[in-house]
Amino acid sequence: MTADREHKGPDGWLAGAQARVAAADLGPHAEQIGRVESIADGIAMVSGLPDVRLDELLRFDKGQFGYAQVLEPDRVGCVLLDGVDTIEAGDRLHGTGDVLRVPVGPALLGRVVDPLGRPLDGAGPIESDEHSPIERPAPAIIERDLVTQPVQTGTLVVDTLFALGRGQRELIIGDRAIGKTTIAIDTIISQRGSDITCVYVAIGQKTASVRRAINAIRTFGRMERCIVVVAEAAAPPGMQWIAPFAGLSMAEWFRDRGQHALIVLDDLSKHAASHREIALLTRQSPGREAYPGDVFYVHARMLERAAKLSPAKGGGSLTALPIAETDAGNLSAYIPTNLISITDGQIVLDARLFHEGQKPAVDVGTSVSRVGGKTQAHALRKVAESLRLDYAQFLELEMFTRFGGMPDPRVRDQLNHGARIRALLAQPQHAPLRLADQVALVLALQAGLLDGVATGDLDGFRRGLSALLDAQAGDIVARIEATGDFADGDRERLRDLLAAHLTPKAGP
């Protein structure tokens, strides 16, 4: 007799066993079990799950995951998220009754994760108690507020001519390998002293490119205030498709708590390609350039989630910097025109300017920010009022003087001034400028203090400017950084300081 029987006795043990049997749920239990009918290119056609819902998360018996993309009367098209090479025809799977969710919250800060929130940096598991669905409705109009606060990108040509606001969606577009990602990474680096949390989403990028971006953030920025979501080029198309949605959910956690976030989507051209690949493999009807008809809706509902919330909703903001790639500068292609029409402006990079050495290669004629004028820091707006017009006039005059002839002195002065504008707008990568430095540079430029300085000496002037301002105008620097504006007399003091510094270096 066992110890339990000895303790309770035969009658007590029997009564307990009878009670457990009576309490057991012995009624009929139905469970739907699906089976893989066929699999190819990251798509599994599944039978036996008649009650599965669209976008429902499916789990295979071997532990892999997928989600329902296509619902047919007798089959379900399942997009695989992992273990593509380990799933075979005949494998069993079950519906989870839930949609895709990712971990959110401060536990993700400083981490590199995949679109499912699983760590890729070898720093241990993600200790997050909260999960959010990757698909969430965008804030309603009544829940939004005006975009009035600036996002300092640290890139002079952007902050002075195409200022970015918190809650804005600004497209960065251009040909391959001409600096699109650099502008976005420099914007993230520039937030090292701000209250903005950054999320960088790499979609279909090469491993080496992703590694360079992460190293730049770790070296020059504050990785502990960033989240990196990686769906590299070798990842299944399903993982590339969900990556931007997962990144948005991670960023929205901070926005919905009254904080400010910035998300970089690098890039949506590859996301559109993965959407087209999934659509064609699941036999959806192709449209223009073989993209399915809903590709515009996919990107629109994604980017609409970036917003500035009203005070009643906490006043947080989510700013989006989507990136798109063009072929031979063709802005009228299908995906570029879609994204241009969805976003609040675009920063266009030109391959010709890039190969001529003008970096960042921003085309000031075709770039625009439809919100920025209302968000630009007041001090910067005051000193840069005529900068864009002056630069446009210089470019036009330069074109005409190429045909020969000796321009009059007034035109020569304009060309000389314009050459300094162009030289100053060029900027080394991963060296974002703080607001006070930008104000001082543009003030010196527009006051004509740099017209006598050789263009080759402007880099040295820019490198030493921060130390000069901190040493001799620290109160003005602190005021501009804190309020974004001048106090009475600050502008004149700053101009006199710059004039005194530049006079000994003026050329003939």
Q: What is the per-residue pLDDT for 488?
A: 87
Q: What is the per-residue pLDDT for 506?
A: 43
197-222 burial, b for 16+ CB within 10 Å, e for fewer? bbbbbbbbbeeeebeebbebbeebbb
Mean pLDDT of the chain: 90
Residues 356 and 327 in one domain: yes
The fraction of the chain above a pLDDT of 90, given in percent, is: 67
Nearest-CA neighbor of 130 among 100, 113, 97, 106? 106
Among left, alpha and beta (phi > 0; psi -120 to 50; other), residue 186 is alpha
Mean pLDDT lowest among 85-99, 245-259, 394-408: 394-408
Single residue among 376, 405, 437 that ends a domain in this structure = 376
Give the torsion sign (CA, 285, 286, 291, 296).
Answer: negative
pLDDT digits (tens, 9 = 90+) for 314-326: 999 999 999 999 9
Residues 419 and 325 in one domain: no
Residues 168 and 219 in one domain: yes
Mean pLDDT lowest among 275-284, 440-449, 499-508: 499-508
Average pLDDT over every residue of 430-434? 92
The residues pairing with 56 across neighbouring beta strands, listed in sequence order, are 99
Residues 97 and 41 in one domain: yes
What domain count does the chain have? Answer: 4
Give yes or no for residue 3 having a pLDDT over 60: no
Give yes or no for residue 8 having a pLDDT over 70: no
Residues 359 and 411 in one domain: no
Residues 358 and 395 in one domain: no
Q: Report if residue 137 sits inside a domain.
A: no
pTM: 0.90
Q: Report if residue 293 sits inside a domain.
A: yes
Phi, psi of 201 (to 5 degrees): -115, 115
Q: Which of 35, 212, 370, 493 is catalytic?
A: 370
Residues 253 and 322 in one domain: yes
Give yes or no for residue 1 having a pLDDT over 50: no
Give yes or no for residue 265 having a pLDDT over 80: yes
pLDDT digits (tens, 9 = 90+) for 490-503: 899 999 999 988 87
Q: How confident is the model at residue 213 (pLDDT cuts 50, 70, 90)?
A: very high
Q: Domain containing 225 — which CATH number?
A: 3.40.50.300
Tokens of 200: 């960088």
Residues 333 and 399 in one domain: no
Q: What is the per-residue pLDDT for 28?
A: 66
Single residue among 341, 376, 411 that ends a domain in this structure = 376
Q: What is the per-residue pLDDT for 27?
A: 64
Q: Is 462 a catalytic site residue?
A: no
pLDDT digits (tens, 9 = 90+) for 129-151: 899 999 999 999 999 999 999 99
SS3 content of the chain, % helix, strand, coil (to 5): 45, 20, 35
471-481 burial, b for 16+ CB within 10 Å, e for fewer? eebeebbebbb
Give the torsion sign (CA, 222, 259, 248, 359).
Answer: negative
CA distance 444 to 427: 17
Q: Domain containing 69 — which CATH number?
A: 2.40.30.20
pLDDT digits (tens, 9 = 90+) for 433-476: 999 999 999 999 998 899 888 888 888 888 899 999 999 999 99
DSSP element (H, E) containing 189: helix 180-190
Q: What is the per-residue pLDDT for 507?
A: 45
Q: Report if residue 216 sits inside a domain.
A: yes
Range of the domain at 41: 34-101
Q: Report if residue 264 sits inside a domain.
A: yes
Phi, psi of 313 (to 5 degrees): -100, 10
Q: What is the per-residue pLDDT for 9?
A: 58
Single residue among 337, 354, 376 that ends a domain in this structure = 376
Residues 159 and 269 in one domain: yes
Task: Look at residue 131 and give its three-state secondary structure.
Answer: strand
CA distance 163 to 375: 7
Q: Report if residue 127 sits inside a domain.
A: no
Residues 241 and 329 in one domain: yes
Residues 182 and 272 in one domain: yes
Q: Report if residue 290 sits inside a domain.
A: yes
DSSP state, residue 165: E
Residues 306 and 342 in one domain: yes
Q: Report if residue 136 sits inside a domain.
A: no
The fraction of the chain above a pLDDT of 70, given in percent, is: 94
Q: What is the per-residue pLDDT for 18?
A: 77
CA distance 83 to 416: 61
Q: How confident is the model at residue 58 (pLDDT cuts 50, 70, 90)?
A: very high
Q: Report if residue 118 sits inside a domain.
A: yes
Q: Number of helices and strands (H, E) in the chain?
A: 16, 18
pLDDT digits (tens, 9 = 90+) for 73-130: 889 999 999 888 889 899 999 999 899 999 999 999 999 999 999 999 988 999 888 9
Average pLDDT over every residue of 16-27? 73
